[in-house]
Amino acid sequence: MPENKPERIAAIVVTYNRKQLLGECIDSLLRQTRPLDGLYIIDNASTDGTDQYLVGRGLISSADRAIEVRYVRMSENAGGAGGFAEGMEQATGAGYDWLWLMDDDVLAAPDALDVLLQKKGRLEAAHSEPFILNSLVLARDSSDGDVLAFPLRELSARGSPKMGTFHWRLSEVRDKVHDGLYRWICPFNGTFVPARAVREVGPPRKEFFIYGDETDFQFRAAKTFRLYTAVASRVFHPRPQPGRFDWKQYYSIRNMFIVNRHFDHAALRNLRLIFVGLVMGLRHGRQGTKLMLRAIRDGLAGRLGKRDGLP
C-alpha cells in the first residue's frame, strides 16, 4: 500500500509599496520551526522598487532555496481582494494542500505554523467536519501579549456575529477558548486555508478591490467549514489607525452593504451604515459627502469593482 504523501504548505503574502515591511514579513516566514514548502509573493504593481529589493535579497530567480519562492507581479493594483485571489488560485493550481494567508505587514512568531499544524492534526483526528484555522492576531506594539490588532467577535445562536460585540483583548474571551481554539477567525491575517476550500467556496471576490473581501470569503466558507483561531499560534499586525479619511473609505462603506447580506438584521445594519457614512462624509466637507453618497448608492445597488475616478 503506497505511503501518504506529506501535505505541502505555501504562504501567500500580498504586498503594495511596502518593501521594508515585506522584508520583515518574509524573514519571519523563513524562520518558521516547521519550514514552509512554498512562498508566493503577490505584488500589486508596486512602484517603490519592490521587485529589485527582492532580487537583491536573492528571493527571485534563486534555484538553490529549500523553499520554492514565486514572485507574481500584477499588471495593475488589484487590491487585497485581487491579490489574494491570484495567490490562492496559483497555489492550489500548483498542488499545494494548505495556504497560509497574510498581508505584508504581518510578523509571524517562529512556531506559529507549527502550532497550526498541531491543532490541525488534533481536529482531523477528532472530527470529520472540514475547517479553517487562523493564527491569533496580536498588536505589534503589545507588550503583554494580550492586546489584539483586530477584535474577536462572539457568535449568536445562529452562528452570526453579535451586533456591537468586539473583544480587543485575549483575556476577554479566555472563557470561550476550548482546547486552545476560539470559534471564529480574523481573515486574511495568518489564515490557514485548505486548498479544498478554494475549490469548494471559491477565492475572494476580486470586485471588492479592498475591504470586505475577507469577511465575504469567511461567511461563504462558514456554510461548509468550521472556523477556529488557534490562540497559541501568534502573528503580529499594526493596530488600525482611526481618524484618517481618504478614497479608501469609499470601498469600506460600499462593500459593507454587500457583506451585510451575510448577517442577521441586514436592514438594520444597513441603516446604521448609512448613518455612519453620512456623518463621516459631512465631517470632511463637500467632497467627503459626495464620496460617501456615491459609496451608499453603489453599495445599496450592489455595484462593485474598482471605480472610475478613484485610485
| 3-class DSSP assignment, residue 162 | coil
Asked if residue 262 and residue 220 are part of one domain, the reply reads no
Q: What are the φ and ψ backbone dihedral angles of 42, each rounded to 5 degrees?
A: -100, 110
Q: Are residue 151 and residue 184 in the same domain, yes or no? A: yes
Whether residue 2 is contained in a domain is answered as: no
pLDDT of 268 reads 92
In this prediction, residues 271-280 reach a mean pLDDT of 94
User: What is residue 61's predicted lDDT score, i.e. its pLDDT?
Assistant: 58
Task: Quickly tell me which residue has 530567480 as its cell.
Answer: 61
Answer whether residue 310 is part of any domain. Answer: no
Q: What local confidence, expressed as pLDDT, does residue 66 receive?
A: 79
Report the pLDDT value the prediction gives residue 4, as an integer from 0 to 100.
Answer: 72
Domain boundary among 237, 271, 287: 237
Does the pLDDT at position 242 exceed 50?
yes
- CA–CA gap between residue 178 and residue 180 (Å, rounded): 5
Distance between CA atoms of residues 108 and 151, nearest Å = 18
Range scoring the smallest mean pLDDT among 20-34, 98-112, 225-239, 256-270? 256-270
| Distance in angstroms (rounded) separating the CA atoms of residues 73 and 50 | 10
Assess whether 167 and 276 both reside in one domain: no
Q: How confident is the model at residue 36 (pLDDT cuts 50, 70, 90)?
A: very high
Residue 309 confidence (pLDDT) above 80: no
For strands 191-194 and 98-103, give the pairing: antiparallel
pLDDT at 265: 85
Which of 86-90, 245-249, 257-261 is least confident?
245-249
Contacts of 96 (CB under 8 A, 6+ apart): 8, 9, 10, 37, 38, 195
pLDDT at position 2 is: 45
Please state the rounded mean pLDDT for residues 285-301: 95
Q: Is residue 174 part of a domain?
A: yes
Name the band, by pLDDT with cuts 50, 70 and 90, for residue 1. Answer: very low
* pLDDT tens-digit readout, 172-226: 999 999 999 999 999 999 999 999 999 999 999 999 999 999 999 999 999 999 9
For residue 242, tell me if it sits in a domain.
no
**Same-domain status, 294 and 223:** no
- Structural domains in the chain (count): 2
Checking if the pLDDT of 103 tops 80, the result is yes
Question: pLDDT value at position 77?
Answer: 95
In a domain, 309, yes or no: no
Q: How far is CA 78 from CA 18, 106, 155, 161, in A?
A: 16, 20, 32, 29
Supply the range of the domain harboring residue 51: 9-237
Same domain? For 233 and 258 the reply is no
Q: What is the mean pLDDT of residues 8-22?
A: 97
For residues 189 and 185, what is the distance between their CA atoms, to the nearest angstrom? 9
pLDDT of 67 reads 87
Say whether both 43 and 166 belong to one domain. yes
78/212 same-domain check:
yes
Per the confidence metrics, is the pTM higher than 0.85? yes
| pLDDT tens-digit readout, 104-160 | 999 999 999 999 999 999 999 998 899 999 999 999 988 788 999 999 988 777 767
* Confidence band, pLDDT 50/70/90 cuts, at residue 65: low
Which amino acid makes up residue 1?
Answer: M
CATH at residue 196:
3.90.550.10
Tell me: do 70 and 27 sit in the same domain. yes
Cα–Cα distance measured from residue 210 to residue 223, given in angstroms and rounded to the nearest whole number: 23
Q: What average pLDDT is seen over the chain? A: 92
In this structure, what C-alpha cell is assigned to residue 79? 487590491
Task: Give the Cα separation of 161 and 46 in Å (integer).
Answer: 35
